[in-house]
Each structure stands twice: as C-alpha cells, then as structure tokens.
Homo-oligomer: A and B are copies of this chain.
Amino acid sequence: MNEQNYIIEPIGIIRSGLTDIEKAPHQGDEGAPDAWLELRASVAEALVGISVGDELIVITWLHCAQRKVLQVHPRGKIEAPLTGVFATRSPDRPNPIGLHRVSVLEIAGHRLRVGPMEAIDGTPIVDIKAVLTRVDDR
C-alpha cells in the first residue's frame, strides 16, 4: 500500500465564543452558535462566488482530538457498546477531519460569518465546499 503522507496547510481558523471543548455541542444542529471563518488573505480569491444565504460544507481539523483512538462509546455514553470510530461521528479518529454544514450569514472581506458551528475557537479550517445540488440542476 502507498505509504505516502500528505500535508494540510490550513486556509484559516474558526473564531467563536465556544472555547471549552467540554461545553461544545456534539453536532451543529444541537444548539451550536454562529462563528466567523477567518480565512487567510492568500486564499481570498477562492471565496469569489459565495453569497449570504449559501449553504456550504466547512471542513476542519479537530486539533484537540485523539488520533490513536479506534473505538468509542458513541456520544460518550458508557452504556453504549464500543463502536469503531468510522461507524460514528466521534472527533477522535486517525485523521480528525470535521464536517460542518453551515449557512453563510455575513461576508466581510475574507471573513465569513456562518452557523451553526460546533467547532471551538482556534480550530483550523482545511477546506470549504459548495453543497451539491441535485444532479438534474447541475
């Protein structure tokens, strides 16, 4: 098997009032607040075409996650059977990628206000993608 590794150079950072990982919701739709995506000026051109009201997928690097964890009790419930992390949304996993579906609320230069966002302040941003439209709208 190909043993090559790859390097993520974050494109920006999450700025949020959520600073305590213990208090962060498990998922965005469980009461997560708005947050600012503070993008690097060097990638500002890549935002052209994004408008307020758009739905985006924000991809983060969950920098506080444990990369050696392969099984968890889902949602931290000790009574739930141990489950492989690939069958869950646990942040702990070998490559701790976070996926967040958000709406764009405000655009200020290369900063976007979006919500809901359950990732804490300081979380690195890896990528931003359009939500796929139906195949017959493309």
Contact = CB atoms under 8 A, between A and B. Distances in A.
Contact of A127 (B29, B49, B93): B93
A132 interface: yes
B29 A135 contact: yes
A47 B93 CA distance: 11
A82 interface: yes
A124 B2 contact: yes
B124 A84 contact: no
A124 B7 CA distance: 13
Interface in A96-132: 97, 99, 122, 124, 126-130, 132
A61 interface: yes
Interface in A25-39: 26-27, 29-30, 38
